[in-house]
Amino acid sequence: MSEPVAAEPSAALRSALRGYLDHLAVERGVARNTLLAYRRDLERYLTFCAEAGLDAVNDIRPEHVSGYLMALREGSEGHPALAPSSAARAVVAVRGWHRFLLAESATADDPSGDVHPPAAAKRLPKALPVELITAILESASGDDPRSLRDRALLEFLYATGARISEAVGLDLDDLPDAGAPVVRLRGKGSKERMVPVGSFATDAISAYLVRGRPALAAAGKGTPAVFLNIRGGRLSRQSAWTVLRDAAEKSGVSAQRGPVSPHTLRHSFATHLLEGGADVRSVQELLGHASVTTTQIYTLVTVDSLREIYALAHPRAR
């Protein structure tokens, strides 16, 4: 018995989708991976619309959008049910497309306006206490080129809260000079931000640039990348992840707390700043979050810490 063939979206629907994807790529400058995710989600939505007999964007009604959300959550033939977070991402893509069509006067209304993404369970970021972060950083010791590079990389990640992609994408021209210890980071959507670099990271990077990087660069063809691999090319994300994993295992932190990822250093950076008195807006700027709402999840971590301190310290807390 042959499998049913999925309905093909009309040329009008596909044309409307191409216009939106072009808008995201050219005018909004979204990252390539983000654009691919939007394309996948919206192509599935177009197929759903085609199977419902819809040929034009003006045919889509709120019940179709809510029906699509239900199909995402319940699953369908060839598509397993999605978790709330994945379904929410897909619905956000749909809402963005419909808002674009309305703004471009391609439709008279927005059928997705009253359809809200499912709320995902709020997960607290995994942050390590300062002493464990210090143990990880100090485990990367030695004067050979690779050890100097590893220490500089780890110090940099914790000092700036940079994403791993931002760290390996760092070029020599992005580094601070002696008079202005501020580094340029290129985040999601190629957005740039300036982030201060503390003295520990500055010292580690200086040691690497003087005594480590030249030896690594000699094996390559010349690259502006700050962090190099043993062949003299730009260090990959996977290799940078391995540097942190090895340092966490060597320090014993992995045995105590489980696997440590580059995002662990980023989470710890944000949490420690807030615990030290930094305001949420400042941390938002340092992390490169588009919305302060994303940053505010870290305040839940610090409130948890305050509860523990209160329970232990207040004579009538129990």
* Catalytic positions: 163, 188, 263, 266, 289, 298
φ and ψ at 76, to 5 degrees? -150, 180
183: part of which helix (H) or strand (E)? strand 182-186
Residue 10 backbone phi and psi in degrees, to 5: -70, 165
Residue 188 DSSP class = G
Q: Residue 292: which H helix or E strand, with range?
A: helix 292-295
Task: Identify the helix (H) or strand (E) that includes residue 182.
Answer: strand 182-186
Distance CA 230, CA 215 (A): 9
Give me the residue label for tokens 């939106």.
Answer: 20
CA 93 – CA 98 distance, rounded (Å): 9
Counting DSSP H helices and E strands in the chain, the numbers are: 15, 2
The C-alpha atoms of residue 201 and residue 195 are separated, in whole angstroms, by 12
Q: How far, CA to CA in Å, does 259 sit from each of 69, 298, 313?
A: 34, 20, 31
Residue with structure tokens 């956000």?
92
- Contact, 166 vs 189, CB < 8 A? no
Judged on CB neighbours under 10 Å (0-12, 13-18, 19+), 268 is: buried
CA torsion through residues 249, 255, 257, 258, sign: positive
Answer whether 151's CB lies under 8 Å from 141's CB.
yes
